[in-house]
Chain A
Amino acid sequence: QKEVEQNSGPLSVPEGAIASLNCTYSDRGSQSFFWYRQYSGKSPELIMFIYSNGDKEDGRFTAQLNKASQYVSLLIRDSQPSDSATYLCAVNKGGGGFKTIFGAGTRLFVKA
């Protein structure tokens, strides 16, 4: 079983729509959850983090966490062509942890 699993996509949405990206993780002890965005040929960039069950909103982004289901999601509202990138789900055991594990990423394509 992969530690962090994501649908590789591509996920294609029209401009202005909501993009929904999902992730599951295997380690129940995980406490910190992150979404990174990676443009082609570039390094990952942190866009959202969440530690508690529920929703966390930041601008057009909402992260959702369900620890019982070991499930993390990212919603992007009013998707823009500039949101086209690979979105990486990442998981850390927390507590000042030293090892963050990444999923393989979901490619998002926003059509103008």
Chain B
Amino acid sequence: EPEVTQTPSHQVTQMGQEVILRCVPISNHLYFYWYRQILGQKVEFLVSFYNNEISEKSEIFDDQFSVERPDGSNFTLKIRSTKLEDSAMYFCASSDYRQESEKLFFGSGTQLSVL
């Protein structure tokens, strides 16, 4: 069964460093998303991406964050200068085109720890 793949599964970084989280969405999906979940808290929307541009973004997704689809398969989230409060599980998701565009398929996540 097709799945969303995320790498790495764990990322430890120092405060102020840049990190790039990587995702390979399901191959025929056209909508891509990043969510995050701080330990014990809810799944929070960060950004959605369609047709090579950001469709919607949340207040969390400030200038420190950026997304990119560098090729036909990868979808990345970059955090330019990490803060302690960026520590969270980051989930990539993708969804299909047409009527089922709202159904999200999640990757297994990248646990980001900022020290």
Q: Is A22 among interface residues, defined by CB-CB distance under 8 A?
A: no
When distances are taken between beta carbons in the complex, the residues of chain A under 8 Å from B103 are 34, 46, 49
A-B contact count (CB 8 A): 56
The CA of A86 and the CA of B74, in the complex, are separated in Å by 30
Q: Is B104 among interface residues, defined by CB-CB distance under 8 A?
A: yes
A105 in contact with B42 given A43-B91, A43-B107, A43-B108 (CB within 8 Å): yes
What is the minimal beta-carbon distance from B47 to any residue of chain A, in angstroms? 9
Stretch touching chain A among B48-56, B63-71, B75-83: B48-56
**Residues from 4 to 45 in B contacting A, C-beta threshold 8 Å:** 31, 33, 35, 41-45
- Which of B45, B106, B109 sits near A99, CB closer than 8 Å? B45
Give the size of the chain A interface in residues (CB under 8 angstroms).
24
When distances are taken between beta carbons in the complex, the residues of chain B under 8 Å from A46 are 103-105
If over half of B's interface residues share one DSSP class (helix, strand or loop), that class is named, otherwise mixed; here it is strand
**Which B residues are closer than 8 A to A by beta carbons?**
31, 33, 35, 41-45, 48, 50, 55-56, 58, 91, 101-109
Q: What 3 A-B pairs have minimum CB-CB distances, sorted nearest first?
A: A98-B48, A98-B55, A43-B106
A-B contact pairs, 30 of them (CB 8 A): A32-B102, A34-B103, A42-B108, A43-B91, A43-B107, A43-B108, A43-B109, A44-B43, A44-B106, A46-B104, A49-B102, A88-B43, A94-B102, A96-B101, A96-B102, A98-B31, A98-B33, A98-B50, A98-B55, A98-B56, A99-B48, A99-B55, A99-B56, A99-B58, A100-B104, A101-B45, A102-B45, A103-B42, A104-B41, A105-B42
